[in-house]
Every structure is written in structure tokens, then in C-alpha cells.
Amino acid sequence: MSALSLANLAVTLGETPVIDDISLSVAKGEFVSILGPSGCGKSTLFRLLTGAIRPDRGGILVENRAPGAGHDTFAFMPQRDALMPWRRIIDNVTLGLEVQGMDRVSARTRVRPLFAAFGLEGFERCYPAQLSGGMRQRAALLRTIVQDRPILLLDEPFGALDALTRAGMQRFVEQRWREARWTTVLVTHDMREAVALSDRIYVLSRRPARIIADFDVPWPRPRLGSPLPPEAGRLEAELLDTLLTQTGD
């Protein structure tokens, strides 16, 4: 049974067709990346999943059923950390739980044991401006996963980080995913990131987005920090060639 299935999704925003007949599936515990050129509609897919917009055609199924009201199946992490500067880190991390109706004391009780695992122990009462970019992203990831929803959506979560911090966050996410096996969908335009983190990769066309290719990534984990076989480099090259045919370069 698929954890997530999209069937023949299509959406037009205003007069602009953005998504055209997309179908894909994600198995429980699988890490799937969606790769495509800038502006192709990758993030629009997440807006459909979270209920921000409705499709013109097609359907979304979670374990063969329509998502619940408010699409509370999905925990969403945006491109930037979106931490509120006036709230301490512990109160930023509990925000999603409080929005769901949990009282502050219970929310803090749930998140406190996780601060050490996310490298944030001792920083609970700091404000976002007092943390590094990587620490803020870890706080944003903790805020996302602590909601304990079945499917994790990551929308280019490392794109605003410098190269060194980005690499550290990729390793961190890989380690946490191997431990927890969250069902995860990552939107990215970074081929190396997709190969390093994914079980499978879907490639989208230019807008209106269609799936033009999908690839299995069969190599064992951990991949980051470990030598990858030559086939991994060839897969990156094939992904690049596929994308270049869409940009006209």
C-alpha cells in the first residue's frame, strides 16, 4: 500500500497552467525527491498536498483514502526556517502543537527530550537571532517532525544555507531519517542532494509540470561522507542531462 498517491493532478493558477497530469506514489518509510527546473511547479505540488489550493483535476490519496480535513496528514517544512524572532526556540518548536490545540505545558513536555538529538540542548531559551543558520534549520525540522504526522514535506529546506552548513544539515537529516524512517518528500533543484538522500527521484518538466523521468537510487546508506560507486556520478549526469533538455541549455 502506498503512503501517498497522486493521480492525474492538474492545476491552473489564474490563466497559467502550472501542473499537467502528474501521477506518482510514495511508499511508507520511503524518501522521495522531486527534481525540476526553477519555476516548474514543484512547490505548487506541496500547496496542493497541504490544502492551500485545490486541483482542477485528479486526486490525492493517503493510504488509499482522501486526506482528512485540513490535510493534517502532512508536516511541512518551508524553504526558510520561518522561526518567529520574538519567540524563544522552545516556543518556536512547540508552535505547531499549540496551533493544533495542545496546551503549552504539554507541548514543552513533548519536545524537551528531543532537543539533545537535534543538537539544540542548552539553547531552548535562546532567540532565533542567537543561533547559527544550521541550528535554526534544525529547530525548524524539529518543529516539523514533532507534530507526528504521517508524511514529511521538505521544500528546498537547505537552499538558503552556505555550502558547509548545507552539507552538515544534509548529513543530519540523513542520520535522523535512518533512525526514524519518516515517509518523506523532498522538493529540490540540487541533483547531488537528491542522489545522496533519496530512494527514488521524480523529474519534472518545465511548466506546466509533467513527470518526464523517474529513477531508483539503490545504493546503501549512509551515503554522505562515504564513497559512492561510479554509478552515482553517472546518475547525477543523467539527471543533469534530463534537466538541461527542459531549460534549453
Largest CA distance in the chain: 55
d(CA 67, CA 69): 7
d(CA 14, CA 19): 13
Whole-number pLDDT of residue 247: 57
Whole-number pLDDT of residue 226: 76
Name the E strands within the chain. 2-13, 16-27, 31-35, 57-62, 74-77, 151-155, 183-188, 200-204, 211-216
Reported as a single tens digit per residue, the pLDDT across 5-27 is 999 999 999 889 999 999 999 99
Gyration radius of the chain's alpha carbons:
18
Cis peptide before 208 (omega within 30 of 0): yes
Whole-number pLDDT of residue 70: 47
pTM for the predicted model, two decimal places: 0.88
Confidence label for 249 from pLDDT (cuts 50, 70 and 90)? very low
In the chain the domains, ranked by start, together with CATH numbers, are: 1-67+185-249 (3.40.50.300)
d(CA 146, CA 131): 20
- Neighbouring CB atoms inside 10 A of 217's CB total 20
Reported as a single tens digit per residue, the pLDDT across 15-67 is 899 999 999 999 999 999 999 888 888 888 888 888 888 899 999 988 888 77
Q: Report the DSSP pairing between strands 183-188 and 151-155.
A: parallel
Higher pLDDT, residue 228 or 193: 193
Reported as a single tens digit per residue, the pLDDT across 115-169 is 988 889 999 999 999 999 888 988 998 898 888 888 999 988 887 778 888 888 8
CB 225 within 8 A of CB 197: no
